[in-house]
Amino acid sequence: MAEQYPTIEFVGIDPCQEQIDQAKDWATQVKRQNVSFFSERLEVLADSLGTFDYIICHGVYSWIPLNERAALLQSIADCLSEKGALYLSHNSMPGCNARSSVWQMMRTIDNPHAPIEERIQRAREYLQSGEMRVVDAHRPYGMQLREEIERNIARSDSFILHELLNPAADAEWISETISTLQRFGFFYAGDAHPQRNHALSEEVHYSEHTPQEQFDSVESAVQYFDILYPSSFRGSVFVKNGGRALVTPEAKALDGCYVSSPLVSSSVKDEDLSSLRMIPFYGPSEEVIEVKAPAYKYLLVELSQLWPRGILLSSLFERVESRCDISSSEREYLMRELLKLYFRNLLEVHSDELSVANVLPESPVVSPFRRLKAAGDWTITLRGELYKTDALDQLLIPLLDGTQTMDNCKQAVLKAVHAKELRMKGSEGNIEANEIEQLVREAVEERFAQYLDRGLFIADCEPIK
Ligand SMILES: C[S@@+](CC[C@H](N)C(=O)[O-])C[C@H]1O[C@@H](n2cnc3c(N)ncnc32)[C@H](O)[C@@H]1O
């Protein structure tokens, strides 16, 4: 975040010294000065930090003892500016039903005073034997529990220790979390996930089956919805004194924003776009939308040609208007359609231009943070998706420091292949040097195309007008 928003100041807090040291080390390596870290409890620092516009409290609330939650919430309330927003992650029921059975199961056997390795080993043994011994494994409860145990057996030691063996971890019903936060002056503004928030606002404000008057409070409406659409872990947004209404996003909220969309079409022919012929646009996860209106088709084609970069909404409309007329009612229709795409995760909305390239630059640059992460096993794309790296990535991505040309990168990989530090499919056995060169060239180019697709390259060109 500090890298993506260089004009914003970030503060990271956790009493765990080791985590803070690691974070400070990263910040130094990627040369970020707009971020500082403190190894302290928030309550201790609250008076000296001033106020913040956004507070992200991730993985803390449901994982600390009940009797520590009030002090934490009070400190968050003190640190949040009057118009600020709090993102709070927490576990919730009934989505957390099976997980909470596993917590209880672990508590029956765990000895918190035993050495850590011993506790983890014992927990694994009990998970395995528990899986075999589930009674009624073909009824809904047994099936759910078995699945949860199976998932947990596959998790890391660190997950078992911090999540399953954490004696404080629990889940509340969301109405309880909302009421608790109300006591500290917070009002529930909605789910941080756009799709969930949209479904929730529809349920609360518009549903024919559950008229608003059926609920006597926002928390009961939200609770009702949560029983029908459960999730074990969630991000909720709270505001101070913001009124009790849930925030329902409106299309005009997109004004002044940068938008991008991964939708692509197999046709960009003008006769298909300018006619009322229906054409499909394909998104990730097999999502397809079928579009008839020419202006909407031009708009999506413009977006797909820019992907993974985004464009200012007003500039996007200017581009579409240069290809076809848009009446004011059509413009409203397009805005509503864009909002719908956002709710389906098919439109990204950003406050700033994303610095990502959409053509392969001569001297490709990967951001220092992504480069640093790639040196481990995973890197992260500009959209926050994890990307598993292999030996070739680990050689390539760190090379991209802005001083390397593509040829230099290929040479470095070739050197590693010759030195047998890197094995490349097809390069084993008796193979001519020029064939190896060809293999390396192709492999590097293919990888660069993938980086481009995933938004790993920083744009080296002017913002899109
Ligand atoms: C489950 S871990 C989550 C770590 C990290 N926030 C994340 O989401 O990946 C819970 C963290 O909360 C921190 N913590 C506990 N009490 C705290 C407090 N009063 N103020 C700030 N952090 C706290 C712990 O040190 C621990 O690192």
Q: Distance, CA 60 to ligand 1 centroid (Å)?
A: 5
User: Per-residue pLDDT tens for 153-210?
Assistant: 999 999 999 999 999 999 999 999 999 999 999 999 889 988 888 888 777 666 665 5
Residue 243: the pLDDT is: 55
Q: Is the backbone peptide bond immediately before 262 cis, with ω within 30 degrees of 0?
A: no
Residue 176: the pLDDT is: 96
Altogether, the residues listed in the chain come to a count of 465
Residue 207: the pLDDT is: 60
pLDDT at 140 over 60: yes
Q: Distance, CA 59 to ligand 1 centroid (Å)?
A: 6
Which is higher by pLDDT, 422 or 60? Answer: 60
Residue 382: the pLDDT is: 76
Q: Distance, CA 429 to ligand 1 centroid (Å)?
A: 52
Residue 292: the pLDDT is: 94
Structure tokens at 253: 């909220």
Using a CB cutoff of 8 Å and minimum separation of 24, what contacts does 317-323 make? 320/295, 323/273, 323/298
pLDDT at 289 over 90: yes
Confidence of residue 430 (pLDDT cuts 50, 70, 90): low
Q: In the structure, which protein residues have their CB atom closer than 6 angstroms to any atom of ligand 1?
A: 13-16, 19, 41-43, 58-60, 63-64, 72, 162
User: Per-residue pLDDT tens for 341-364?
Assistant: 998 889 999 888 888 888 888 888
Q: Is the backbone peptide bond immediately before 308 cis, with ω within 30 degrees of 0?
A: yes
Residue 14: the pLDDT is: 97
With beta carbons less than 8 A apart as the criterion, state whether 53 and 81 touch.
yes
Query: For residue 63, which atom of ligand 1 is closest to its CA?
Result: 1
- Min mean pLDDT across 69-73, 148-152, 283-287 is at 283-287
User: Per-residue pLDDT tens for 18-52?
Assistant: 999 999 999 999 888 999 999 999 999 999 999 99
Around 6, how many Cα atoms within 13 Å sit in the side-chain half-sphere?
Answer: 9
User: Per-residue pLDDT tens for 305-334?
Assistant: 998 888 999 999 999 999 999 999 999 999
Residue 463: the pLDDT is: 56
Residue 461: the pLDDT is: 56
Q: Distance, CA 14 to ligand 1 centroid (Å)?
A: 6
pLDDT at 222 over 90: no
Q: What is the DSSP string of 376-433?
A: SSEEE-TTS-EEE--HHHHHHGGG-BSS--HHHHHHHHHHHHHTTSS--TT-SSS--H
In the chain, % of residues over pLDDT 90? 57
Residue 194: the pLDDT is: 82
With beta carbons less than 8 A apart as the criterion, state whether 177 and 90 touch.
yes
Per-residue exposure over 27-51, b if at least 16 CB sit within 10 Å of its own CB, e if not: beebebeebbbbbebbeeebeeeee
Confidence of residue 401 (pLDDT cuts 50, 70, 90): confident
Distance CA 276, CA 137 (A): 54
pLDDT at 285 over 80: no
Residue 429: the pLDDT is: 66
Q: Distance, CA 390 to ligand 1 centroid (Å)?
A: 31
Distance CA 399, CA 409 (A): 7
Residue 206: the pLDDT is: 60
- For ligand 1, atom 17, the nearest C-alpha belongs to 41
Residue 19: the pLDDT is: 94
- For ligand 1, atom 18, the nearest C-alpha belongs to 41
CA distances from 37 to 16, 28, 50, 57, 367 (A): 11, 11, 15, 15, 21
Span 136-151, average pLDDT: 92
Confidence of residue 339 (pLDDT cuts 50, 70, 90): very high
pTM of full prediction above 0.95: no
Distance CA 445, CA 157 (A): 38
Q: Count other Cβ atoms within 10 Å, centred on residue 169.
A: 19
- Average pLDDT over the chain, rounded to an integer: 89
∠ Cα 405 261 320 (to 5°): 100
CATH of the structural domain 41-94+171-240, one choice from 3.40.47.10, 3.30.1330.60, 3.40.50.150, 3.40.50.300? 3.40.50.150
Q: How is residue 164 annotated by DSSP?
A: I
User: Per-residue pLDDT tens for 227-274?
Assistant: 988 999 999 999 997 655 567 778 888 999 999 998 999 888 888 889
Ligand 1 mutation target, pool 60, 155, 158, 161, most atoms within 8 A of CB: 60
Give the residue extent of every domain in the chain. Answer: 41-94+171-240, 97-164, 273-350, 368-453
Which is higher by pLDDT, 268 or 451? Answer: 451
Residue 31: the pLDDT is: 87
